[in-house]
């Protein structure tokens, strides 16, 4: 190899080495740059994640984004959370411990519904169920408040005060329960971002929506002729029937699924014998007693008494007979359509609801319940004595309806009427407890008073009564309620057409 060639090879080697070092340096620089870039991106993502957590925790996103669009309105996740939480709270308050029967686990409140399968839906969670209710509720409120604005309907100062009265002392109550303030209490019970301001505002909107709904409902009017025709078209479905019945069932032998033909023939013979014994016992004037004697003589048992059964609820086997031209005491024998035996039926009465309802005022004095949930004779006597004192106070002064109404607002313990002077209008037969009902329909004239005892599953006590006068024809009340319900429902359907709820990306924050 020549010296020149060797020299060139050494130069080439040095060049190659230099290039390798240069390439290595360049590659290392690229890796360092990439690593720095990845670290920077990772840092940014961490910062963004922390910022997102801080934003969520602060509630800003719950208040500044849109979770639902209805009409021209945008509801934030916090606002929709209120409606969502309200639906949940209403169900829990309604069913209490029985909510578990529906498959609703309330141990984690509104935050524990996302993974709970809902028994009310074919395929969905309880969150889906309550969210749908919340969206429909919010849409209705917005539609009705828009209607109120169009009609110039507003809340009076008194109505606003009533709507806001429930928030008095809430902050103190929240602190007493261990919460920072009322906002924290509402957020825990209704969902993230819900504050007292949101709940208060929603309460006013709800009050205005109710007022608008009532305004629309009252706008529908009907003539007596229209009401009478509507009721007539019901073909007795709302008429009331009272009757006695005894079912003679064919005996079913052990191991058999149905009665034999012989057993059914024997049942028919027993039913015929009861009918004959009843008809032969005309020396007993009381129809119920006569039928009881007839049934007992053939079976050793007693019949069933059915009172005020609506025509639409009558047994199909003898509904046509009861709804025919009947007189008290008429009897019939009817084979059961299910092939199990024969029924004996005695007609007592038919009420076509063409009677005047009653308008009354009352003052309820409740008897105090003892620790075992019972009402002692002493407690009842104390309630009666208080009722007598109130009536004596009324009779000692000016005996007017206005004064009685004032006493009702002062003394009555009936939360359903003590803010309107104890007034109940268009009371129908059988609507109240028996003693109250009897006072309404025993022929009083306007201004008559009295004291009657009353007891139901919810109370025991005495009613100081004031008879105002006759109300509307009850058949008209039934017809008007049905017609108004249909008309308002149709009106609401049309009103809601532009308010179809539309969810957004931020709906996922609700619940």
> Whose structure tokens read 């021209």?
72
Can you give the pLDDT at residue 259?
Answer: 87
Mean pLDDT for 353-357 is: 97
- The torsion region of residue 252 among left (phi > 0), alpha (psi -120 to 50) and beta comes to beta
Could you tell me if 506 and 61 are in contact, meaning their C-beta atoms sit under 8 angstroms apart? Answer: yes
Determine the average pLDDT of the residues in 327-339: 96
What's the mean pLDDT in 51-75? 79
CATH topology of domain 356-478: Chitinase A; domain 3 (3.10.50)
Average pLDDT over residues 436-443: 96
Asked whether residue 232 carries a pLDDT value surpassing 60, the answer given is yes
Strand order in the sheet with 449-455: 423-427, 356-366, 460-473, 449-455
Q: Which of 9-23, 166-180, 370-384, 412-426 has the lowest mean pLDDT?
A: 9-23
Does the pLDDT at position 344 exceed 60? yes
- Residue 23: the pLDDT is 57
Task: Provide the pLDDT for residue 119.
Answer: 92
Distance CA 435, CA 425 (A): 17
Among the ranges given (141-145, 190-194, 340-344, 432-436), the one the predictor scored with the smallest mean pLDDT = 190-194
According to DSSP, the residues that pair with 346 across neighbouring strands are: 244, 331
At residue 27, does pLDDT exceed 70?
A: no
Mean pLDDT of 258-285: 95
Mean pLDDT of 176-181: 93
**CA separation (Å) from 342 to 47, 246, 322?**
82, 9, 16
pLDDT at 178 over 60: yes
Q: Quick one: pLDDT at residue 257?
A: 82
Geometric angle at alpha carbon 222, from 221 and 224, rounded to 5°: 145
DSSP characters for 201-212?
HHHHHHHHHHHH
Give the position of tokens 């060797």: 6
Angle between helices 196-218 and 77-95 (to 10 degrees): 70
**pLDDT reported for residue 252:** 85
What confidence tier does 236 reach under pLDDT thresholds 50, 70, 90? very high
Q: What kind of fold does domain 68-219 have according to CATH?
A: Triger factor/SurA peptide-binding fold (1.10.4030)
Q: Which CATH architecture has domain 240-351?
A: Roll (3.10)
Q: Is the pTM of this model over 0.85?
A: no
User: Quick check: 1 pLDDT over 70?
Assistant: no
Q: How many CB atoms lie within 10 A of CB 98?
A: 9
CB 483 within 8 A of CB 474: no
Residue in 293, 313, 311 with CA at minimum distance from that of residue 303: 293
Measured in whole angstroms, the distance separating CA 423 from the mean position of its chain's CA atoms is 24
- The answer to whether the beta carbons of residues 464 and 365 sit under 8 Å apart is yes
Mean pLDDT of the chain: 90
**H or E element that contains 424:** strand 423-427
Residue 79 token pair? 């606002």
Residue closest to 75 by CA, chosen among 138, 144, 149:
138
Q: Name the DSSP letter for residue 116.
A: P
What's the pLDDT at 29?
54
| pLDDT > 90 in the chain, percent | 80
At 3 the pLDDT is 47
Confidence of residue 169 (pLDDT cuts 50, 70, 90): very high
Model confidence at 323, in pLDDT bands (50, 70, 90)? Answer: very high
pLDDT tens-digit series, residues 370-423? 988 899 999 999 999 999 999 999 999 999 999 999 999 999 999 999 999 999
Q: Is the pLDDT of residue 11 over 70?
A: no
460-473 vs 68-70, strand pairing mode: unpaired
Q: Over 70: is that where the pLDDT of 449 sits?
A: yes
């Amino acid at each position: 190899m020549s010296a020149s060639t060797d020299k060139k090879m050494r130069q080439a080697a040095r060049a190659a080495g230099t290039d390798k070092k240069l390439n290595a340096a360049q590659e290392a620089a690229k890796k360092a740059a990439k690593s720095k870039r990845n670290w920077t991106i990772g840092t940014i993502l961490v910062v963004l994640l922390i910022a997102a957590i801080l934003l969520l925790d602060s509630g800003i996103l719950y208040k500044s984004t849109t979770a639902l669009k209805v009409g021209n309105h945008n509801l934030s996740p916090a606002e929709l959370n209120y409606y969502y939480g309200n639906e949940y709270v209403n169900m829990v308050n309604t069913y209490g411990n029985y909510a578990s029967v529906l498959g609703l686990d309330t141990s984690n409140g509104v935050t524990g519904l996302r993974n709970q399968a809902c028994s009310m839906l074919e395929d969905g969670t309880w969150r889906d169920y309550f969210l749908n209710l919340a969206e429909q509720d919010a849409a209705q409120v917005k539609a009705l408040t828009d209607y109120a604005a169009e009609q110039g309907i507003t809340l009076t100062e008194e109505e606003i005060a009533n709507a806001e009265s429930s928030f008095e002392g809430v902050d103190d109550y929240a602190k007493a329960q261990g919460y920072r303030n009322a906002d924290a209490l509402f957020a825990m019970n209704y969902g993230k971002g819900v504050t007292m301001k949101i709940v208060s505002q929603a309460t006013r909107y709800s009050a205005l929506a109710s007022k608008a709904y009532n305004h629309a409902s009252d706008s529908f009017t009907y003539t007596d002729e229209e009401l009478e025709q509507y009721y007539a078209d019901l073909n007795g479905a709302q008429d009331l029937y009272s009757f006695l019945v005894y079912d003679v069932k064919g005996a079913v032998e052990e191991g058999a699924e149905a009665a034999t033909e012989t057993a059914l023939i024997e049942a028919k013979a027993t039913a015929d014998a009861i009918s004959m014994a009843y008809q032969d016992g005309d020396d007993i004037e009381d129809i119920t007693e006569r039928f009881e004697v007839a049934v007992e003589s053939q079976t050793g048992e007693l019949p069933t008494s059915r009172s005020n059964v609506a025509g639409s609820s009558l047994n199909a086997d003898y509904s046509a007979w009861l709804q025919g031209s009947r007189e008290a005491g008429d009897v019939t024998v009817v084979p059961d359509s299910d092939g199990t035996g024969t029924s004996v039926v005695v007609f007592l009465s038919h009420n076509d609801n063409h009677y005047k309802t009653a308008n009354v005022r009352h003052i309820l004095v409740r008897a105090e319940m003892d620790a075992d949930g019972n009402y002692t004779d002493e407690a009842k006597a104390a309630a009666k004595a208080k009722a007598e004192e109130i009536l004596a106070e009324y009779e000692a002064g000016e005996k007017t309806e206005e004064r009685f109404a004032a006493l009702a607002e002062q003394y009555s313990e009936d939360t359903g009427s003590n803010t309107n002077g104890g007034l109940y209008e268009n009371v129908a037969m059988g609507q109240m407890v028996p003693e109250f009902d009897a006072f309404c329909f025993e022929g009083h004239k306007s201004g008559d008073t009295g004291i009657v005892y009353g007891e139901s599953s919810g109370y025991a006590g005495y009613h100081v009564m004031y008879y105002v006068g006759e109300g509307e024809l009850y058949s008209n009340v039934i017809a008007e309620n049905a017609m108004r319900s249909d008309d308002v429902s149709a009106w609401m359907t049309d009103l809601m057409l532009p308010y179809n709820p539309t969810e957004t990306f931020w709906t996922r924050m609700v619940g």
